[in-house]
Amino acid sequence: MRPFEGIKVIDITHVLAGPFAAYQLALLGADVIKVETPDEGDQSRGSGSDRALNRRKMGTGYLTQGSNKRAITLNLKTEAGREILKKLVADADVLVENFRAGAFPALGLGYEELSRINPRLIYCSMTAFGQEGPRGGQTAYDHVIQATSGLMAATGTPEANPIKVGAPVLDYATGTMCAFALSAALFQRERTGKGQHIDSAMLDVALILMSSHLTGYFRTGAEPKPKGNSYHFATNSCYETKDGLVMLGASNRGQHERMFRAVGRPDLAEQSGNEQREELCEAHAQVLREIMKERTAQEWEEYLQARHVPAARVRPMAEAVADPQLQHRGVVHRHNGNGDIPGDLTVPLAAFRFAHGGPSIETPPPRLGQHNAEVLGALGYSADQIEAFRRDGVI
């Protein structure tokens, strides 16, 4: 039995962060009902690298976190749409929304209103800046928060900066953080019997992801500087080899000593501490730049790893996902093709495994409104009523 079996989640989110939060619960057994607008649906349905799928409203941006969910459409600007949602909420455990702060309360669908219907409801609001405060009414996406938070300013090289991180890390980190918050709130409810309102902000998540930089800044006033592929220690940086780049990760003192012994420079292995390593960083780097050119990146990776020195050849995604270790870990799941998604579809599963009852995928991402009849029928609506909702633009 997976942890969230029997838990009902109403997922009224779009793009990446919100859907990813609900996806984490779906992987662990929750019944996640994705609610979208009847006309366009989640805007991520039209985004991704496969334009044919985008036109089908099944873009890879949506497919990434759509498995194990049921999909319905509701026009929440209509009274009938809001009433249907309230019926859904009556026996739900979780509602997740990531629209502009104040948008749902303005529709009469805020936490205060819905908790009166269901006091055990855990209501998670995900926004760029939080529900209140000077920026509470502003909106943003991942890259905008990267700019706002200082993350971009700390990324890049001394010559080329600021640069945003290549992947939408704040979206997925926010989704993961909210999944953790929802799990904690569900556990808390087991003890108190009470629901909860979770106020999550992407800006907060960005700062938490820079926690050590944040603490250092408040202590000394030193802002993190973009250092590219280099770090404070020469043995913990990236170097050119015969045929590519290798990233060294000899971070602590023991690894530093093993590194220099491994490359035939035991005279550089000893040092009094990290301060001296920082002072000698450039001198050590000059030595390593020459030595690293003596072998290929793959040869260095194998040679150094065999000597317990962290090192890795820099790989593009095509090589990274072909690594047998990923196959062994079961990080991804492959759906067999069907009418909605021609050909195979491979999606991320989870970044952890359980000994039993862990994350799994049973159903592929649904079409827009695929489960309207099923979900509304379970709420007591007749086939004629459902058809009338469709004609009137309610679903």
- Coil, helix or strand at residue 171: helix
- Coil, helix or strand at residue 182: helix
**Do the beta carbons of residue 202 and residue 16 sit within 8 Å?**
no
pLDDT, mean of residues 151-160: 96
**pLDDT of 217 over the 80 cut:** yes
HSE (CB half, 13 Å, CA atoms) of 338?
10
**pLDDT of 339 over the 90 cut:** no
Name the residue type at position 109.
Answer: L
Task: Output the pTM of the full model.
Answer: 0.95
DSSP letter, residue 267: G
Q: Burial, 296: exposed, middle or buried (Cβ in 10 Å; 0-12, 13-18, 19+)? A: middle
pLDDT given for residue 52 in this prediction: 94
pLDDT given for residue 342 in this prediction: 86
Q: Where in the chain is the domain with CATH 3.30.1540.10?
A: 234-314
**pLDDT of 145 over the 90 cut:** yes
Q: Considering the chain, what percentage of its residues have pLDDT values greater than 90?
A: 96
Per-residue pLDDT band at 270 (split at 50, 70, 90): confident
Name the residue type at position 78.
Answer: T
**Do the beta carbons of residue 27 and residue 3 sit within 8 Å?**
no
| pLDDT, tens digit (0-9, with 9 covering 90-100), for 347-383 | 999 999 999 999 999 999 999 999 999 999 999 999 9
The CATH homologous superfamily for domain 234-314 is formyl-coa transferase, domain 3 (3.30.1540.10)
| pLDDT, tens digit (0-9, with 9 covering 90-100), for 76-133 | 999 999 999 999 999 999 999 999 999 999 999 999 999 999 999 999 999 999 999 9
**pLDDT of 229 over the 90 cut:** yes
Which residues belong to the active site?
171
**pLDDT of 159 over the 90 cut:** yes
pLDDT given for residue 337 in this prediction: 81
pLDDT given for residue 225 in this prediction: 93
CA dist list (Å): 82 to 73, 109, 291, 383: 12, 8, 67, 19
- Coil, helix or strand at residue 265: coil
pLDDT given for residue 271 in this prediction: 76
Rounded-to-integer distance, Cα 220 and Cα 137, Å: 32
Rounded-to-integer distance, Cα 137 and Cα 51, Å: 33
Rounded-to-integer distance, Cα 43 and Cα 343, Å: 23
| Residue that the structure tokens 């942890």 belong to | 3
Which tokens is 132 given? 């209140």
| Residue that the structure tokens 């992987």 belong to | 27
Rounded-to-integer distance, Cα 126 and Cα 175, Å: 9
| Residue that the structure tokens 């090192």 belong to | 311
Per-residue pLDDT band at 341 (split at 50, 70, 90): confident
Q: Where in the chain is the domain with CATH 3.40.50.10540?
A: 8-209+328-391
- Coil, helix or strand at residue 362: coil
Full strand arrangement of the beta sheet holding 69-73:
69-73, 31-36, 8-12, 94-97, 122-127, 196-201
pLDDT given for residue 107 in this prediction: 97
Per-residue pLDDT band at 281 (split at 50, 70, 90): very high
pLDDT given for residue 191 in this prediction: 97
Please give the class, per CATH, of domain 8-209+328-391.
Answer: alpha beta
The percent of the chain in helix, strand and coil, each rounded to the nearest 5, is: 40, 15, 45
pLDDT, mean of residues 251-265: 95
- H or E segment at 219? helix 211-220
**Do the beta carbons of residue 245 and residue 314 sit within 8 Å?**
yes
Rounded-to-integer distance, Cα 56 and Cα 370, Å: 13
- Coil, helix or strand at residue 322: coil
CA dist list (Å): 184 to 180, 249, 331: 6, 34, 24
| pLDDT, tens digit (0-9, with 9 covering 90-100), for 43-70 | 999 999 999 999 999 999 999 999 999 9
pLDDT given for residue 100 in this prediction: 95
**Do the beta carbons of residue 157 and residue 228 sit within 8 Å?**
yes
**pLDDT of 387 over the 80 cut:** yes
pLDDT given for residue 199 in this prediction: 98
**pLDDT of 272 over the 80 cut:** no
pLDDT given for residue 338 in this prediction: 76
pLDDT given for residue 152 in this prediction: 97
Which tokens is 31 given? 């019944």
| pLDDT, tens digit (0-9, with 9 covering 90-100), for 7-47 | 999 999 999 999 999 999 999 999 999 999 999 899 999 99
Q: Considering the chain, what percentage of its residues have pLDDT values greater than 70?
A: 100
pLDDT given for residue 197 in this prediction: 98
